[in-house]
Amino acid sequence: MPKNKTVWYCKSCGAESLKWMGMCPVCGEWNTMVEAPIPAKGGRRDFRGEVPGGGMSPCLLSEVDVTGEQRFSLNSPELDRLLGGGIVKGSITLLGGEPGIGKSTLALQIPLYCHGLKALFVSGEESVSQVKLRAGRLGGDGNSCYIYSETLVENILSQASRLEPDLLIVDSIQTVYSDNVESSPGTVGQVRECAAKFLRYAKENGVPVLLIGHITKDGSIAGPKVLEHIVDVVLQFEGDDSGAYRILRGIKNRFGATSEIAVYEMTSGGLKEVANPSDLLIPMHEEALSGIAVSAMLDGTRPLLIETQALVGSAAYGTPQRSATGFDVRRMNMLLAVLEKRAGFRLGTKDVFLNMAGGLRVNDPACDLAVISAVLSSNFDLPVSSHTCFCGEVGLSGEIRPVSQTERMIAEASKIGFDRIFISGFTSLPEQFSHKGIEVVKISDVPQLCRALFK
């Protein structure tokens, strides 16, 4: 019996090789080559021929008609804003996240609460009765939502062509397989082939497709990296699945801005939108406590106010510990070195723990000023006023550098009810900008910050 021919794929970039290699010659990643059977001729032809638009003839760009409605709302303000104003017809969206974080719940809520939307929900992980029980807990109207439990992609596309839905939802892409590929579901070849078939269906019929995908232990979408290149939009859930709040972040969006976030609260009735996340991330205590400072930052295009918590204590075991939750520990070590070198604070023999409240992962340099203020507050055991917030980047020479769109952070802090905000002394605010109701304090370096806070 002849042996089936196989090929090696790179999980990181999707490159092919006839033999195993420790390092991928294309992307340079180590130990990412996996073996999969060579797809049949039909599968190979389908994947290579995934041209958006199918068999259309070439036409001039000036003759393309885009006057028709290209987007439609999902009756979810947060999700519509995250997608750039609604979902685009003929687009393909990938929704990723850890198990149990709410991917299937959010996907099922879309057709239940979007009245008049004819949707086909394909479940490869649950039976029709299980989906019905979930829909009963979520509420909403299921008169226009079709449920189909199937894992063969050819059958799914056949039913989709017959029903002609306005939205196709597949839960999940790792459970779907094609007869053209001789491998088990979830392998590199199957994911590539099935994603290419869904892409072709979306582009040729103008039907948006929502794919649900699992993530690996390192937090990336399971399957080949080429899956993220095929789709138009990549949305990923963040946060602890055991907590009440979920953060949906836009990683890739061909039709809108990236790095946008939407905050949801997991309840017994499903995921509820949080219109003002700053109310969840600012202090929830009445008395002033040391080691706490509020940072005004920008996540995507949305201004947020988040509580920064620091704890500084003597090293109990000789070697000081450095730990950060929701913040880059390397950047925290840099800020501690700036405090010691430029301001004279001896923190080399002390433990420093940093936490961003609400489970949010922060990468905006505008949080530097709040981190330093929280560390100094905990070190001196002197509280910072709960009506004060901070917005500024700290440089290696101890200077406070301005950040972009500072006026938006000032307006957000004033709206929430803060009385004072510290910003960089080098920030130039627009002349027409009015910051009545909040005191704007400009500081130039870290020593000046210490004098202004603990005078």
Q: Is 97 annotated as a binding residue?
A: yes
Beta-bridged to residue 394, according to DSSP, are 400
At 79, the amino acid letter reads: L
| Cβ atoms of 144 and 119 closer than 8 Å | yes
Say how far residue 313 (Cα) sits from the centre of its chain: 34
| Distance, CA of 95 to CA of 265 (rounded, Å) | 17
User: 3-class SS at 330?
Assistant: helix
Neighbours of 192 (CB within 10 A): 24
Name the residue among 239, 250, 217, 212 with its Cα closest to residue 101.
239
Residue 378 is inside which H or E element, if any? helix 368-380
Q: Is 295 annotated as a binding residue?
A: no
Could you identify the residue written with the tokens 């802090």?
Answer: 413
Beta-bridged to residue 445, according to DSSP, are 399
Q: Is 217 annotated as a binding residue?
A: no
By CB atoms closer than 10 A (0-12, 13-18, 19+), residue 431 is exposed
Q: Is 385 annotated as a binding residue?
A: no
Side-chain-side CA neighbours of 409 within 13 Å: the count stands at 31
Q: Is 98 annotated as a binding residue?
A: yes
Q: Is 99 annotated as a binding residue?
A: yes
Backbone angles phi, psi at 369, to 5 degrees: -65, -40
Q: Which two tokens stand for residue 259?
A: 């790095």
Annotated binding site for ATP: 97-104
Annotated binding site: 97-104
